Chain A
Amino acid sequence: MAEPEFRSSVTTLTATPAGAPALTDESALTKASVRAQVGASPLGVDFTRTAKRDGVLIAAIRPDEWLLLGSANDVEALLATARFDASVNRIDITHSRLCLRLTGARSASALEKVCSLDFDDTMFPDGATGSASVAKVSSDLIRDDIDGEPSYLLLADRSFGQYLYDAIHDATTEFADAL
């Protein structure tokens, strides 16, 4: 029998034109959701903030939800060592959410074409999270700069994968050098 192989919902990738923000598919990352009561802080990260711990990105995407993003081993290890009280639940949402990453100097400008949030550095700084409609799909956004270069992770319902990828890719094309 063939070995099961993880398949992303983004099935067709398009090359990024030179100079435009780069859009990559990181849906294969393990994603875990940690749920607690509003006001609780099971991981010590406040709503709309992120932290990095042992290779895992912890993003407080809702007042009662923390998203853990990383390799399967790292996420598992972190969850194994975390001490949660009985009211906390953890749910694997690797297969429920697609994950795209948009990187580049003009990525905020590209996002402004599909999302009404204010992506100014003071309003959406590195390490912040926000949820909003992106091209009419409810999405979670995480600012996660790479070596000082602006970078955003975007998570949304898996079934929108190809649609969202195409919509965001289209928004980036005007920032290519050729134009």
Chain B
Amino acid sequence: MIRRLEPQSGEVIDRESPLKFTWNSKKYVGYAGDTIVSALLANNRQVFSRSMKYHRPRGVLTADYWDPNTTVQVGTEPNVRGAHRLLEADMKVSAQNAWPSLDFDIKAANGLFGRFLTAGFYYKTFIKPQRLWPLYEKVLARFAPGGVVDLNTPHGYHDKRYAHPDVVVAGGGPAGLAAAISAAKAGMSVMLVEQNHRLGGHLRWGTDQDRETADDLEESARDAGVEILTDSAVTGRYDDNWIAISQRDHPGVVERLIKARAKTLVVAAGLVERPYVFSGNDLPGVMLSGAVRRLINMYAVRPGNRAVVLTANAEGDAAVADLERAGVEVARVVDARAGETISKAAGSSKQLGSVTLADGSTVKADLLVTAAGWTAPTSLLNMSGDRPSYDPAAARFFPTALPDNVIATGGLVGDGSLDELIAHGISSGELAAQRAAAVKHRLRSTVTRAQNPQGPEPPVQPDRRIGLSRAPHPELYRSDTHGMVDFSEDVSSKDLVSAAAEGFDSVELVKRFTTATMGPSQGKLETVNTVAVLAEARGETIEEVGTTVWRPPYAPISLGALAGRVFEPVRVSSLHEWHTAHNMTPILAGQWIRPEHYGDPGAEVTNVRTNVGIIDVTPLGKLDLRGPDVPKLLNLLYTNKWSKLPVGRVRYGMMCAEDGVVLDDGVTGRLGEDHYLMTTTSSGAGQIWQWVEMWLQTEHPDWQVHVTPVTTGLTSINIAGPKSRELLMRLVDDVDLSAEAFEYMNVRTGTIAGVPDCFMWRIGFTGELSFEVHVPAGFGLHVWEQLIEKGADLGIGPFGLEAQRIMRLEKGHFIVGQDTDGLTKAPTTGLRALIKLDKDDFAGKPELEWALAPEAPELPVLVAITPTDPRLVPDEACQILREGTTEIVGRITSSRFSPSLQRSICLGQVTPEFAAAGTTLTVRLCDGSDATAKVMEHHAHFDPEGVRLRG
């Protein structure tokens, strides 16, 4: 570690804990507490990356999170910020964007031809001819910056939580710390979020006294009960102070996203040092003053041997003092406050060699330090609606108007001594606490479940803080030469000038055209320089040009953190364990895991048609309806009539939305005088519940109906097949199940296998004699197992969704959403008799009335279709064409091979011209060939008279 200094009083490294690591496969040693970059610099490695477009070698610029030149690959993790990430034992670090190696990069030839790669080069060059784009893409992809994603990387444990802190403080420098402490002392719950690994902000690389102050503040914050998050960032502020925080210091978690509803937000983001624009400003060896101070004071690394320092402020002066103390020869101090400046820097491709000053003199140096001023990272203020304004006297932007629940402090609002900064932080914390108290009072009075607060709501406190003064600062943006403005995107001031010359007259357009500010540092380093260069090029002021708007996220969030712990609710019926133990092939239907079949769906069909089968239909939507006005409700929701449904009967109905399109269907049974059970499709269960509630709550609040969803409260089992009655009789004593006593479309309540309060009704989706039983779910498995046991000698077998779908297709029953779509109006289904236009009102009635008027255009018709070739099963959604043309006249909506008929069968929608029985259709198959098929007379391919069903 030949650049490591003797121990420094403020160093954060632990010299007792050496850590071995590799950089581009070579072995090095650093210390615990080092960042990747400080450890490499200590080992005299100075080039960390190649730039994005020109592949110029790049060294340390800022030596912190925002450093654009030190992004590296760590193991399988790409795009790690090397000047922020702490070194770990056995880390495997490698350079990105260098091919074949960091030292010899073929693409650096781009640098030679740099004048061709001006802004818009790629847009303009590779647009024509379009057919060559796949080739261009392949080549350009190799040039794209960024690390390597290993697709086999295991998904780390990420996390998510909600929080409701009274005050969130973004930034743990002196002002932020002071604000957090005073807010906490005022009784508020405070969350303090700091991007660095330690609290204290710039005090950490300052004097011994600075560090003592930082330690004291940190201790006070802990004592006051502030929740402290380091290595974390407030990444966004949204409506009503909804705050996104990315937390990376939580044990056992890669990264955690916190969604906080803060009563007040204190923004103490500090200031970001701004690079100076001149020729050669991206040579390794050109650094900002903050970088030098951090490297010397925190990491005990000597940043160079012979330095030139351009200083416009106290930080630059302090950097001079730090360099001298570290034994670096300071060859020249260039004081911008006295009107001095530098012109350009030169050297070999990998190392600064000399600096030319504005007066033309040249100084030999391997280190050039610039302290050219600050950018106020106002992102969170922008996200709060503020449009900061530029102050030429202080050479930076300041906030203008903030909402009551957002308070700015620290360097964002002004300058001053450390005491003044802390005092401003304290008064900001007090203001934040007062305003949070008002919000809290209001929440406690308005959130119904909360404890009512004492006394009247405190008024929103006016801002009576003593403001921070603004230190004068020279406007120092570009020297008399052109240099790099956006280091991460390789955009130079020349590019911006040409963009202006090309007529891009809005800063937002220049940004998108040149991609300046669009790289990983997202404008923290380059926004103001971009604006300043543009202003100069157009002869305007910075204020006139204005800035781009800073949007979330403030700092990058990993996709893993956004995903968090993945919540994907799944639902299962009470029979799930049985299905799993009995060879179920599962299918995910919405959130439900259901048996698609138990091995052989065709055999399941045959068994139902010959013996008896049972299917778990629990997901069937079920709504318990009670009250005297249920018939009115049913008349309103269904297209048919419900006023005279007797107790003990069930009826089929179809529902439409107000546009006349089929919404759902199902049967509803009358269980008692004022008690009904409505079933919906499985997929429509939730939607129909809300649909019913909406009609009741908004149009007919006077109707007495209570709706309770009981979908999974009842385990629903359909017992189907010629032997189903015989089976059910073995388990039911208290209901007469005979054909005479319990007719088709009737419902009874009784006891099944010892379980009382079961509903059973006779319906027939499969076309067989069938009983659908609804059993209290806690006893569902018991009833199912009893059915299996008692039906053994009858040949009972379970059947799954697929067998049911085949049987319903054999019977020609349509499925809403399968055989209908978002344009299918009710008459298309063929159930014209169920549309009762003589009712006063029902959902969708006007549209249906107009659709059925004699002058209305005829609607498509749902028909049963059989392919001429009985073995051919056209895919669902195959188009039906007018023969010899490509005119689409319909489509196949359902198709299967029927085990009962030993041939293929379909349902489809066709235009009326093709709907007559016997019409020959042309079906365009997926492979592009055509097949013929015939329209059938009935929807039902199997047992069209329904003899089996009514048996």
**Interface residues, chain A, CB within 8 Å of chain B?**
1-9, 11, 27-28, 33, 35, 37, 47-49, 64, 87, 89, 91, 93-97, 112-118, 120-125, 128-130, 135-137, 157-160, 162-164, 167, 170-171, 174, 179
Chain B: CB-nearest residue to A120: B164
What chain A residues lie within 8 Å of B565 (beta carbons)?
113, 167, 170-171
Q: Which of A3, A96, A124, A158 contacts B449 (CB 8 A)?
A: A124
- The answer to whether A116 touches B754, judged by C-beta atoms less than 8 angstroms apart, is no
Chain A: CB-nearest residue to B160: A113
Can you list 24 contacts pairing A with B, beta carbon distance less than 8 Å?
A: A4-B754, A5-B779, A11-B577, A35-B626, A37-B704, A89-B627, A94-B713, A95-B712, A95-B776, A96-B711, A96-B777, A112-B163, A115-B162, A116-B259, A122-B450, A123-B444, A124-B449, A135-B567, A158-B712, A158-B713, A159-B592, A160-B570, A162-B572, A167-B565
**For the complex, is B873 an interface residue (Cβ under 8 Å from A)?**
no
Chain B nearest CB, measured from A129 CB (Å): 7
Chain B: CB-nearest residue to A111: B162
Chain B nearest CB, measured from A174 CB (Å): 7
Chain A: CB-nearest residue to B450: A123
- Top 8 A-B pairs, shortest CB-CB distance: A96-B713, A159-B571, A48-B449, A159-B712, A6-B778, A35-B706, A128-B449, A118-B164
Residues of chain B in range 304-343 having any CB-CB distance to chain A below 8 Å: none
What chain A residues lie within 8 Å of B573 (beta carbons)?
159
**For the complex, is B753 an interface residue (Cβ under 8 Å from A)?**
yes
| Docked pose: A129 CA to B447 CA in angstroms | 11
| Docked pose: A61 CA to B720 CA in angstroms | 40
**Interface residues, chain B, CB within 8 Å of chain A?**
159-164, 189, 251-252, 259, 261, 440, 443-444, 447-451, 453, 565, 567-574, 577, 592, 618, 624, 626-627, 704, 706, 708-714, 753-755, 776-783, 785-786
Chain B nearest CB, measured from A2 CB (Å): 7
A122 with B444: in contact, given A93-B710, A95-B713 (CB under 8 Å)?
Answer: yes
- The answer to whether B782 touches A112, judged by C-beta atoms less than 8 angstroms apart, is no
What chain B residues lie within 8 Å of A49 (beta carbons)?
449
- The answer to whether B571 touches A160, judged by C-beta atoms less than 8 angstroms apart, is yes
A33 with B776: in contact, given A1-B786, A4-B755 (CB under 8 Å)?
Answer: no
| Docked pose: A108 CA to B288 CA in angstroms | 46
| Docked pose: A96 CA to B621 CA in angstroms | 12
A4 with B450: in contact, given A94-B776, A96-B713, A158-B713 (CB under 8 Å)?
Answer: no
Chain B nearest CB, measured from A23 CB (Å): 16
| Docked pose: A27 CA to B453 CA in angstroms | 35
| Docked pose: A27 CA to B568 CA in angstroms | 22
Chain B nearest CB, measured from A58 CB (Å): 15
Q: Which of B164, B570, B780 contacts A123 (CB 8 A)?
A: B164
Chain A nearest CB, measured from B7 CB (Å): 35
Given contacts A116-B259, A159-B572, 8 further A-B contacts (CB under 8 A): A93-B708, A117-B162, A118-B443, A123-B164, A158-B713, A159-B573, A159-B618, A160-B570
| Docked pose: A116 CA to B450 CA in angstroms | 15
What chain B residues lie within 8 Å of A158 (beta carbons)?
574, 712-713, 777
- The answer to whether B251 touches A179, judged by C-beta atoms less than 8 angstroms apart, is yes
What chain A residues lie within 8 Å of B447 (beta carbons)?
118, 123
- The answer to whether B569 touches A137, judged by C-beta atoms less than 8 angstroms apart, is yes
What chain B residues lie within 8 Å of A164 (beta carbons)?
569
A113 with B444: in contact, given A91-B624, A96-B713, A159-B712 (CB under 8 Å)?
Answer: no
What chain A residues lie within 8 Å of B449 (beta carbons)?
48-49, 123-125, 128-130
- The answer to whether B567 touches A125, judged by C-beta atoms less than 8 angstroms apart, is no
What chain B residues lie within 8 Å of A9 (beta carbons)?
572, 574, 712, 777
- The answer to whether A2 touches B782, judged by C-beta atoms less than 8 angstroms apart, is yes
Q: Which of B574, B711, B714 contacts A7 (CB 8 A)?
A: B574
- The answer to whether B448 touches A91, judged by C-beta atoms less than 8 angstroms apart, is no
A interface, over-half SS: loop
| Docked pose: A93 CA to B164 CA in angstroms | 33
- The answer to whether B713 touches A93, judged by C-beta atoms less than 8 angstroms apart, is yes
Q: Which of A11, A115, A136 contacts B569 (CB 8 A)?
A: A136
Chain A: CB-nearest residue to B675: A89
- The answer to whether A89 touches B713, judged by C-beta atoms less than 8 angstroms apart, is no
- The answer to whether B712 touches A91, judged by C-beta atoms less than 8 angstroms apart, is no
| Docked pose: A86 CA to B714 CA in angstroms | 26
| Docked pose: A47 CA to B161 CA in angstroms | 27
Q: Which of A2, A129, A170 contacts B786 (CB 8 A)?
A: A2
Chain B nearest CB, measured from A89 CB (Å): 4
- The answer to whether A3 touches B450, judged by C-beta atoms less than 8 angstroms apart, is no
- The answer to whether B450 touches A124, judged by C-beta atoms less than 8 angstroms apart, is yes
| Docked pose: A173 CA to B256 CA in angstroms | 15
What chain B residues lie within 8 Å of A4 (beta carbons)?
753-755, 779, 782-783
Q: Which of A7, A115, A159 contacts B778 (CB 8 A)?
A: A7
Chain B nearest CB, measured from A65 CB (Å): 9
What chain B residues lie within 8 Å of A179 (beta carbons)?
251-252
- The answer to whether B451 touches A122, judged by C-beta atoms less than 8 angstroms apart, is yes
Chain A nearest CB, measured from B789 CB (Å): 9
- The answer to whether B571 touches A91, judged by C-beta atoms less than 8 angstroms apart, is no
A163 with B164: in contact, given A95-B776, A123-B447, A128-B449 (CB under 8 Å)?
Answer: no
A160 with B569: in contact, given A112-B163, A115-B162, A124-B450 (CB under 8 Å)?
Answer: yes
- The answer to whether A163 touches B706, judged by C-beta atoms less than 8 angstroms apart, is no
Chain A nearest CB, measured from B818 CB (Å): 23
| Docked pose: A70 CA to B45 CA in angstroms | 71
Q: Which of B453, B712, B780 contacts A157 (CB 8 A)?
A: B712
| Docked pose: A163 CA to B456 CA in angstroms | 44
A113 with B159: in contact, given A2-B786, A124-B450, A160-B571 (CB under 8 Å)?
Answer: yes
Chain B nearest CB, measured from A157 CB (Å): 6
What chain B residues lie within 8 Å of A8 (beta carbons)?
778
What chain B residues lie within 8 Å of A137 (beta carbons)?
569
What chain B residues lie within 8 Å of A7 (beta carbons)?
574, 778-782
Chain B nearest CB, measured from A6 CB (Å): 4
What chain B residues lie within 8 Å of A118 (beta carbons)?
164, 261, 443, 447
Chain A: CB-nearest residue to B776: A95
- The answer to whether B161 touches A113, judged by C-beta atoms less than 8 angstroms apart, is yes
What chain A residues lie within 8 Å of B592 (beta carbons)?
159
Chain B: CB-nearest residue to A9: B574
| Docked pose: A158 CA to B779 CA in angstroms | 13
Q: Which of A1, A95, A124, A167 contacts B777 (CB 8 A)?
A: A95
- The answer to whether A163 touches B162, judged by C-beta atoms less than 8 angstroms apart, is no
Chain B: CB-nearest residue to A156: B569
Chain B nearest CB, measured from A16 CB (Å): 18
What chain A residues lie within 8 Å of B574 (beta carbons)?
7, 9, 158
- The answer to whether A89 touches B626, judged by C-beta atoms less than 8 angstroms apart, is yes
Chain A nearest CB, measured from B784 CB (Å): 11
- The answer to whether B577 touches A136, judged by C-beta atoms less than 8 angstroms apart, is no
| Docked pose: A135 CA to B450 CA in angstroms | 23
What chain A residues lie within 8 Å of B161 (beta carbons)?
112-113
